[in-house]
Structure 1
Amino acid sequence: MRKLLIAFALAASAATGAIAQSGPQPIERRVGRLEQEMRAVQRRVFPGGQPGVVEPEIRPIAPAGPTSDVSGDALASLAERVDALEAQLRSITGQVEEQGHRTRQLEAQLTQLRADLGGRLDRLEQNAPAVNPAPPIPAGPAPAAPAADDPAAAPSGATDPAEEAYNAGYRLWAAQNFAEAQRALNTAATRYPNSRWTSWMRNLQGRAYLDDDKPATAARIFLDNYQNNPRGERAADSLYFLGQALTRLNRRPEACRVYDELAQVYPNMRDYIRTRLPQARTDARCGAGGGNAR
């Protein structure tokens, strides 16, 4: 929204400069020029219109016709045109400022949500039992093929080493060897931090902890995967499963806020998540219209 305000200011400055440099001109021509500049501002601030915003329209008043004496009806007509332009300018400015205010409020709420979750998860993890490291265990034979809509499923026949590492961790998780899957996926994500599969690895690592009845640790992993790689292919999944972990921890208000953020940040989330979100909100006792749990 700040870009819109800057664009608006530049266009308005250009309009003022053009009028100032044009020298003495008939007042009708100057008002007509101002109307043209206002249309340019309108097109720039409202390109193609905005959903939910009533787009102001420039409605020029017909000129009074050529005259050498600007007085009487001609002067009144020009005054009306200037008044209309000023009113439309105020309307555009007000809408831009209102949208900017709403955007700043949303950003502040999301920042506060992330800070609150981080602090609470830190406290929960302090009370969680430590997990002793163990030597790596071979993946063993692959289990039956996962369901087509399984969020952890990966394509077969991988040739990318990172994808192969993810598939090895997936096989452990699918066989319910959760502790081994946790270690294997953490090692793989550390080894391939810049791969597209890192988002998959961290998300499945969090699921391995969640399925191992360790929701506090799982919540930390899901939150980190979302925050550190919000454009990752499983960032939306991690936000969804973060809500699941918080519900398990009886942190229902926070879970509802997470589900709200999921809907706002990822409106094009995968169908697997979209179809399960209503039940997740019900389990967290979220209000029908969104927001905190009842």
Structure 2
Amino acid sequence: MIARCARALGLGGIALALVATSMPAAAQDNSDARIRKLESEVRALQRKVFPGADGRFFEPEISAPATTTQPATTTAPSTTAVTDILARLDALENQLQRLTAQYEVGSNALRLLEERIEKLEAGNAAPAVEAPAQAATSAPASRPAATQPAAARPDPARLAAVQAIAKPQTDDPGDDEYSYGFRLWDAGFFPEAQQQLTLFVEKYPEHPRATFGRNLLGRAYLDDGKPSEAAPWFLRNYQADKNAARAGDSLLFLAESMIALDDTQRACIALSEFAETYPALATGRLQGRYATARSKVTCG
């Protein structure tokens, strides 16, 4: 509504100014009547935007400039009418600007108040959520409330044992990260090894030890009884570089993961590809592990 009034006042002001520059002194009364009508419309806007029983809630209404006594001459100078109209238009425009500013301030204050009410309502809702728990603690002895297990705390002995494993400090920080993960895995601290080796493979994906890190990370999950988490790391390491130092190991461990997941078909595929791609490993360093895996499944 204020925007429409502003556009109306702006257009009306321009029109009045143009008419006043050419109107004779005899048309002064008609212009005064139109301006008074415009002022009354602004007063109505004041009452609508800033309602209240007294003047504290809005600016005082526009009052017409003090009437000056016309000289006794029969014809007033033409510049007097133009000056009077321009002055009254300036007053109207200034008043409209103040009304608009006060309306924006009031809208902003209302928005802040609504936000505070929403926060208060959210805070008052919290006790309602806690009420069932309070009622459970006051339940009769014949119906004891269920207790929640306390949050698991780290075993002090395990924590001390992990801290006792030293992290290497050499001029190759990537190798230090891998070696520390290997030491954790070798000591049987599989969750800690998983965390450390993940850090290594993500931070040093191009390190010469990367193939060892991905393969050992898979083993840390497999030895921890998590074949579904281990399999993606074995497959990723095998596919990254089939000629890498631990690519063949990962393919065989992938077959073991599939056996643990009762996926005989994929286990047989991995074992067949391992024997075909890495015959030296199948008859050499990994011969015993390969034979054990083959004994657990029947492949066509």
TM-score using structure 1 length: 0.44
TM-score using structure 2 length: 0.43
Query: Which structure would you say has the larger RCO, counting Cα contacts within 8 Å and 6 or more residues apart?
Result: 1
Greater share of residues in helix: 2
Question: Over alpha carbons, which structure has the higher Rg?
Answer: 2
